[in-house]
Amino acid sequence: MAGFDALTHEQQLPILLELAQAATELYELPPSLSVKLLNLSENATYKVEAPDGRRWALRIHRDGYHSKTAIASELAWLIDLRNTGVVTTPVPVKGRDGEIIQQLAHKTMPRPRNIVLSQWETGAEPGIGEDLSGPFEVLGEVTARMHLHTQKWKRPPWFTRLTWDFETSLGDSNPHWGRWRDGMGVDTARAKLFGRTVDLIGRRLAAYGKGAERFGLIHCDLRLANLLIDDSAVKVIDFDDCGFGWYMYDAATPVSFYEHEPQVPGLIESWKKGYRRVINLSKEDEAEIPTFVMLRRLLLVAWIGSHHETDLAKSMGYPYTEGTIGLCENYLRQFA
């Protein structure tokens, strides 16, 4: 059999399912479990359900994206956020050996995969077509509390996460999610327009700076798929991309993939209203939120290009790149 990385997306799925089913044996779980794929992007996430209705979420980490120490760092932060009452986050489950991070190999894989099981969180993923003004207001407040927490929290000495700045997002050297120039449908004309936009983003962020009041540990991916609405509460899940970046970047990620929708400006206003209940927003902070929305949009163009085999990338594809043209033109008119 060919190595795992040489297999097509469809060929990988049954192998990952086999690994997920085997991974349930690493935990003190009831028998006769069902294991169902929830999503596959950077990682493979499965819903594990017992006959009595109890549920868990099992995540098989992508090979080479995060080290075991980086995953432990992610878990340390989300556990402290929950324990201190900042926000409801997933509760990791220890394996039979007492460790939260488990490792399991498959004969087709060059290395064992890191695996994390969490208790199931109730709630529903919000949809862009819903009235989200209330949830976005709550999210803004929750995000501000998370930012305050990161400024005061004493991180473990071994803590390590990626840095999401201009160079690692839209730079040409080694961006985490690939080059925006390699996005689907980025032809010569679009590359020229996008390039002018990227240059302007770079200049504005250089002027904005990375002072401690603006740059720190953030979630980095508060998109709708990573939120759960449970009555009046907003729960935050999937900290896989958390790292060091601009605090106002967390204002942009909730509208990921929908930046072009007409309700987005109103949603960001709701987010700011909630945020201000906890932290005062300076004029400089507010002024750069459109820059972070634009940065995120182009970063997702890059992500779609480098993850073209995933269902999410396929669903967005070329139309997402096409829809980015108008956003770039509006941004350039506003700030150039």
Residue 126 zone, left/alpha/beta (φ > 0; ψ -120 to 50; rest): beta
Phi first, then psi: what are they for 92, rounded to 5°?
Answer: -65, 150
334, amino acid identity? Q
The overall average pLDDT reported for the chain is 95
| Residue showing tokens 């340390």 | 76
- For every residue of 193-261, DSSP letters joined together read HHHHHHHHHHHHHHHH---TTTEEEE-S---GGGEEEETTEEEE---TT-EEEETTHHHHGGGTT-TTS
State how far the Cα of 229 lies from the Cα of 286, in Å rounded to an integer.
Answer: 26
Mean pLDDT confidence for 182-198 = 97
To the question of domain 4-119 being in CATH 3.40.30.10, the answer is no
pLDDT score for 4: 84
Residue 115 has pLDDT above 80, yes or no: yes
Residue 254 has pLDDT above 90, yes or no: yes
Asked, colleague to colleague, whether 4-119 and 133-335 share their fold, the answer is no
Q: Tell me the β-bridge partners of 56.
A: 48, 119
Residue 311 has pLDDT above 90, yes or no: no
Mean pLDDT confidence for 15-27 = 97
pLDDT score for 308: 86
Residue 161 zone, left/alpha/beta (φ > 0; ψ -120 to 50; rest): beta
Q: Which two tokens stand for residue 124?
A: 């529903």
Q: What is the pLDDT of residues 267-289, one digit of tens each?
A: 999 999 999 999 999 999 999 99
Q: Note whether 108 and 1 are within 8 A (CB).
A: yes
Residue 1 has pLDDT above 60, yes or no: no
pLDDT score for 61: 97
pLDDT score for 110: 87
pLDDT score for 2: 63
State how far the Cα of 19 lies from the Cα of 321, in Å rounded to an integer.
Answer: 35
Rounded to two decimals, the pTM is: 0.95
Higher pLDDT: 156 or 1? It is 156
CATH code: domain 133-335 is 3.90.1200.10
pLDDT score for 3: 80
Higher pLDDT: 314 or 171? It is 171
The domain locations on the chain are: 4-119, 133-335
Biggest distance spanned by C-alpha atoms of the chain: 61
Mean pLDDT confidence for 292-305 = 97
